[in-house]
């Protein structure tokens, strides 16, 4: 240590260490960065820098310390959040699930929340009225109805006036009936695209003038199925993939206006997106009525009836705690340098990495093992039995 402080370069190293620590702590004080992360990422570089300078000498230690400071500064810059202030955010699909939880969460943090709901007189809207602050405003907003979207824009414009709207969270979406793509009626494909993609595009383009005023954020709620192919999600996955691509293009195009765009690809969360038993029966009936006779014969009644059991079991494999997802949306809204893509939830990032960086056959094998089904279509079972008997 005496050698460290016996030269001007050594004192420079010590001074830079102190300056870095003070800067990090001041940044953390002004933002919503977690205190534990701040302590770790401010103390570790300082200690590592001093250790390197003691071992390598002032010159080598300064180089190592500079690299460590750069890495930690980039990390903390990504963690640092802007103050909430009076920022206003529009959330679609706030009746239930993620949108409902997000409206409550952002309201509790002090945001001015515009909660778009499919039914302004429904139980979800009533709960938001009862539990949230007076800052929250409910908007009747079926995103497939252009008239309602324009009326919502008019109401939001009147309230935010010249300050603009800080964020739009395109959350509203439908799952449809999970089944083999061959079995789904065309109406299911069209409905998923209408809600999950065209509705989000309609909302985005309508509210972009307000985002330009504030140089705010556009956040699109996609899905794991929007980034990787998953069996039984042909209609849903295709619509979410379209939304993800839309997000990527808009991220590039809107950067010149100072607007930042993010796509959220969560893993399975327990949100109730699969709908009610009445909806399942309606969708199942529509599926069965539209099946050609030979397709029904090949798949078999037991396989087709098993699709509903798959839907009923879905919540068992989903996380009940939405906090990782809510934190991801908050970061997308407030981070000084938000990510273009977020993958909250257990296992959300691994399949995406395998799909992007491994051969397709390996990804298909991985998914087949991860999502193995209990039964096979009747025709495949019959042919397998015949081969065994030969």
CB hemisphere CA count around 38 (13 angstroms):
17
Q: What's the rounded Cα separation, in Å, for the pair 354 and 361?
A: 11
How many other C-beta atoms lie within 10 A of the C-beta of residue 101?
Answer: 19
202-to-86, 206, 388 alpha-carbon distances in Å: 26, 6, 55
Q: What residues are labeled active site?
A: 236
**Token pair for 367:** 């998914």
Contact 138, 155 (CB under 8 A): no
**Where do we find the tokens 């939880």?**
101
Residue 360 sits at φ, ψ, to 5 deg, of: -60, -40
Handedness of CA 383, 384, 389, 390 (dihedral sign): positive
DSSP 194: I
Q: What's the rounded Cα separation, in Å, for the pair 201 and 294?
A: 38
Q: What's the rounded Cα separation, in Å, for the pair 208 and 176?
A: 29
> Which segments of the chain does DSSP mark as H helices, in order?
8-30, 35-79, 97-108, 123-131, 146-160, 186-192, 199-214, 234-254, 277-289, 293-299, 301-313, 323-334, 349-357, 360-370, 378-389
User: By three-state DSSP, how is residue 81 classified?
Assistant: strand
């Amino acid at each position: 240590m005496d050698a460290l402080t016996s030269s001007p370069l050594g004192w420079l190293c010590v001074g830079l260490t102190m300056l870095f620590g003070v800067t990090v702590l001041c940044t953390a004080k002004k933002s919503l960065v977690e205190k534990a992360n701040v302590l770790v990422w401010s103390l570790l570089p300082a200690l590592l820098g001093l250790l390197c300078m003691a071992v390598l000498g002032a010159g080598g230690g300064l180089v190592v310390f500079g690299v460590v400071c750069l890495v930690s500064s980039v990390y903390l810059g990504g963690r640092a959040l802007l103050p909430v202030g009076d920022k206003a955010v529009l959330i679609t699909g706030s009746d239930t699930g993620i949108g409902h939880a997000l409206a409550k969460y952002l309201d509790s943090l002090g945001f001015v929340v515009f909660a778009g709901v499919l039914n302004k007189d429904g139980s979800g809207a009533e709960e938001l009225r009862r539990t949230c602050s007076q800052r929250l405003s409910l908007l009747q907003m079926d995103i497939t109805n252009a008239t309602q979207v324009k009326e919502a824009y008019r109401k939001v414009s009147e309230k935010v006036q010249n300050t603009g709207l800080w964020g739009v969270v395109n959350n509203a979406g439908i799952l449809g009936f999970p089944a083999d793509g061959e079995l789904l009626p065309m109406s299911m494909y069209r409905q998923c695209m209408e809600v999950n993609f065209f509705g989000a595009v309609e909302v985005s383009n309508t509210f972009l003038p307000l985002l330009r005023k504030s140089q705010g954020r556009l956040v699109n709620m996609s899905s794991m199925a929007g980034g990787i192919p998953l069996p039984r999600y042909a209609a849903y996955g295709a619509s979410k993939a379209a939304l993800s691509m839309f997000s990527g293009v808009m991220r590039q195009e809107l950067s010149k206006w100072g607007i930042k765009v993010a796509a959220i690809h969560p893993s399975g969360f327990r949100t109730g997106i699969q709908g009610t038993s009445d909806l399942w029966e309606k969708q199942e009936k529509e599926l069965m009525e539209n099946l050609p006779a030979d397709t029904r014969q090949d798949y078999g009644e037991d396989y087709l009836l098993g699709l509903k059991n798959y839907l009923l079991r879905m919540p068992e494999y989903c996380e009940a705690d939405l906090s990782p997802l809510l934190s991801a949306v908050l970061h997308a809204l407030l981070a000084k340098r938000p990510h273009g893509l977020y993958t909250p939830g257990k296992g959300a990032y691994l399949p995406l990495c395998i799909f992007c960086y491994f051969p397709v056959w390996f990804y298909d094998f991985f998914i087949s093992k991860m999502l193995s089904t209990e039964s096979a279509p009747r025709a495949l079972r019959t042919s397998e039995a015949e081969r065994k008997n030969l």
